A and B are shown apart, each in its own frame.
Chain A
Amino acid sequence: MKIVVCVKQVPDSAAKVVVENGRVTWGDAPLVVNPWDEYAIEAALTQKEALGGDVTVISMGGESAREVLKQALAMGCGEAILISDPALAQADSQATARVLAAAVRKISDVDLIFFGRQAIDDDAGVIPAQTACLLGWPVLSLVSVIRSLDPGARTVRVERSIEEGRQVVEARLPAVISVVKDIGDPRYPSFMGIRKASKAVIPAWTLTDLGLGALDPVISWPELMNPPQREVKTEMITGDSPQEIAEKLADKILGEKVL
Chain B
Amino acid sequence: MMSNKIWVYIDQFKGRALPISWEAIGVGRTLAGQFGGGVTALVFGHQVEAIAQEAFHYGADEVYLADDATLSEYRPEPYTTLIAKLAGESTPEVILFPTTTRGRELAAMSAIDLKTGVLPDVTALNVQDGIIVVTRPVYAGKLLSKVQCKTRPQIISLRGRAFPKPALDPSRTGTINRIGAVLAESDIPTKVVDYAQVGGGVSLTDASVIVSGGRGVANNPSLVPPAGLGEKEAEIWKAQQGFKLVGGLAAVLGGAMGASRAAVDAGYIPYPHQVGQTGKVVSPDLYIACGISGAIQHLAGMRTSKVIVAINRDPEAPIFKLARFGVVGDIYAILPALTEAFGKKLGK
Contact = CB atoms under 8 A, between A and B. Distances in A.
Interface in A116-138: 120-127, 129-130, 132-134, 137-138
Interface residues of A, number: 85
B99 to A, nearest CB: 9
B296 A246 contact: no
A222 interface: yes
A112 B87 CA distance: 30
Contacts of B109: 129-130, 132-133, 139
Interface string A248-259: 011111101011
B223 to A, nearest CB: 16
B189 A126 contact: no
Contacts, number: 264
B88 to A, nearest CB: 15
Contacts of B286: 253, 256, 258-259
B186 to A, nearest CB: 11
B190 A170 contact: yes
B346 interface: yes
B209 interface: yes
Contacts of A223: 145-146
A171 B101 contact: no
A64 B253 CA distance: 48
Given A126-B108, A220-B147, A235-B325, A120 B140 contact: yes
A227 B322 contact: no
B150 interface: yes
A214 B272 CA distance: 41
Given A14-B297, A93-B108, A250-B345, A123 B325 contact: no
B148 interface: yes
Contact of A219 (B76, B143, B149): B149
B118 A93 contact: yes
A247 B101 contact: no
A126 B136 CA distance: 14
A19 B277 CA distance: 18
Contacts of B333: 242
A133 B272 CA distance: 28
A168 B193 contact: yes
B337 A242 contact: yes
A139 B326 contact: no
Interface string B133-159: 100111111111111111100000000
Given A13-B277, A249-B338, A227 B142 contact: yes
B190 A245 contact: no
Interface residues of B, number: 95
A19 B191 CA distance: 45
Nearest to B279: A181
B116 interface: yes
Nearest to B116: A218
B164 to A, nearest CB: 15
Interface string B53-71: 0000000000000000000
A139 B105 contact: yes
Contacts of A94: 111-112, 117-118
Interface in B181-221: 189-199, 203, 205, 208-209
A167 interface: yes
A14 B346 CA distance: 39
Contacts of B76: 129, 138-139, 141
Interface in A210-247: 217-227, 230, 232-238, 241-243, 245-247
Contact of B325 (A120, A171, A221, A252): A252
B307 interface: yes
B117 A219 contact: yes
Given A141-B105, A221-B145, A167 B195 contact: yes
Contacts of B146: 221-225
B296 A14 contact: yes
B314 interface: no
A141 B196 CA distance: 17
A28 interface: no
Interface string B94-118: 0000001110110111011101111
A127 B120 CA distance: 11
12 contacts: A123-B137, A125-B108, A138-B189, A157-B193, A166-B196, A169-B75, A171-B190, A217-B150, A243-B341, A249-B327, A250-B338, A259-B346
Given A169-B75, A242-B337, 13 more contacts: A11-B139, A13-B140, A120-B278, A139-B76, A140-B190, A163-B205, A168-B192, A180-B271, A221-B145, A224-B143, A238-B328, A242-B334, A245-B327
Top 5 A-B residue pairs of the complex, sorted by shortest distance between their CB atoms = A246-B337, A126-B108, A218-B117, A168-B194, A258-B285
